[in-house]
Amino acid sequence: MRFKLLTMFAAALFLSACASKSDENAGGSNDGTAASTDQSSSVSSSTIQGPQPGTLEHLLVNVGDRVFFGYDQSDLSADSQKTTEALAVWLNSYPAVTLTLEGHADERGTREYNLALGERRANSVRDYLVALGVNPSRLQVVSFGKERPAVLGSTEEAWAQNRRAVFAVN
């Protein structure tokens, strides 16, 4: 749900950036008195090309904000490793950013074990980031076990989406 909303938000930002760009082009076709306006609008258009760098929206567009795990697994798959590597690069570009890594589980387990499993998943991401050179002091870890599903419903697809670690920009 949240993923969808954020994606839509990012898409909206992108669209509004395009819209202002075409406005600017339209402005550019005006007569000479608009020349100074043209200059100022071309400056402002470059700042709304996409999400503000270093934000969660920016992370979503450039890296994604989560990785997924197999049933009762906490190892990073090849895909998850790639995402985490991209996350490390992104974090290196924005050294002021700190993250909370949230571990989650699907509903097909017991409450307490799933809290521990979520913690282990979040730490798989953390450990890999640290191995890739990210300063551990920038990373916090929390687990919500099976209590905060991202996708509703009792289906294999929902469970697969809910076995996840989410990167939350602090």
Partner 1 sequence: MNLLMNIRNLVLAAGATLGMIVASVPAQAEINVNISQGFVQPLPVAVSDFQGGQPEDQLIGRDIAGVISANLERTGLFRPIDSKAFIQDANSLRVGVRFGDWRLINAQALVTGTTQVLGDGKVQVEFRLWDVYAENMMTGYRYTTTRTNWRKVAHQISDAIYTRLTGESGYFTTRIVYVSETGPQNRRQRRLAIMDQDGFNHIFLTSGRFDVFTPRFSPTSQEVTYLSFEGNVPKVMLLDIQSGREEVLGNFKGMSFAPRFAPDGNSVIMSLADKGNTEIYTMDLRTRKFTRLTNHPAIDTSPSYSPDGRKVVFNSDRGGSQQLYVMDANGGNVNRISFNKGRYATPVWSPRGDLIAFTRISGGKFFIGVMKADGSGERMLAEGYHLEGPTWSPNGRVISYFKQGKSDSRGQVKSKLYTIDLSGYNEREVVTVLDGVDPAWSPLLQ
| Order of strands across the sheet that contains 66-68 | 66-68, 164-169, 99-104, 139-145
Among 119, 165, 166, 167, binds partner 1 (CB under 8 A): 119
Calpha distance 58→77 (Å, rounded): 24
Show contacts with partner 1 in window 9-68 (CB under 8 A). Answer: none
What DSSP line would sit under 72-104, residue for residue? T--SPPHHHHHHHHHHHHHHHH-TT--EEEEEE
Minimum distance of partner 1 from residue 122's CB (angstroms): 8
- Tracing tokens 């521990």 back to the chain, one arrives at 116
* Helix (H/G/I), strand (E/B), else coil: 152: coil
Among 13, 60, 76, 115, binds partner 1 (CB under 8 A): 115
The residue range among 3-11, 36-44, 56-64, 141-149 that interacts with partner 1, by the rule CB under 8 A, is 141-149
**Interface with partner 1, residue 148, by CB under 8 A:** yes
Number of residues that bind partner 1 (CB under 8 A): 30
The residues that touch partner 1, with contacts defined as CB under 8 A, are 1, 72, 74, 107-113, 115-117, 119-120, 122-124, 126-127, 141-144, 147-149, 152-154
